[in-house]
Each structure stands twice: as structure tokens, then as C-alpha cells.
Amino acid sequence: MTDTIHHTTPADYRMALSALRGCQAQLRAAYLDAHTAARHLTGVRAARAGELADKAADALAQCERLIFIVTDDLHADRAGARDA
């Protein structure tokens, strides 16, 4: 079995960024919904909804970091293409 090396193209980066931005929007909505639920509940249920909001916030932060990194990769790939 031979290994193939896949080079990420600018089109791949753009597709990934589009998908990640979709994730970002959905995670932001999930965070806001869970936070709203927590405000309207009491006791254990409020705590659970708060935990869910925290997890959504963590996932949103990770998604935003990945968007930043992939955007930087795209810019670096474009700069490398210009220099070549």
C-alpha cells in the first residue's frame, strides 16, 4: 500500500473555512440557547444548562482558534504561491 501526500490547496482552505464558519454560527446559537435556558431554570436543571452553555463556549473558542489558524494558513499559502 502506498501513502499519498495530499497538499492542501487554496480551494481546500476556503471550503474548510466555510464549514468552520458554519460551525461557529451554530455553536454561537447553541451557547446563547443554553445560556437562555439556564436563566429560566432553577436548581439542578439550571446548573446542567449552564454546564451545556460552558461546553458550547469552549467548543466555540476552539472553533474560532481553528478559523484563525486556517485563515493564516491560507494567507501563507497565497504568499508562498506569489513568491514561487
CA distances, 23 to each of 5, 37, 47 (Å): 27, 21, 25
Each residue of 29-79: pLDDT tens digit? 999 999 999 999 999 999 999 999 999 999 999 999 999 999 999 988 877
DSSP state of 40: T
Checking if the pLDDT of 83 tops 90, the result is no
b/e per residue 33-68 (b: at least 16 CB within 10 A): ebbebbeeeeeeeeeebbebbeebbebbeebbeebe
pLDDT confidence of residue 77 = 80
- Do residues 29 and 72 lie in contact, with contact meaning Cβ atoms separated by under 8 Å? no
Checking if the pLDDT of 23 tops 90, the result is yes
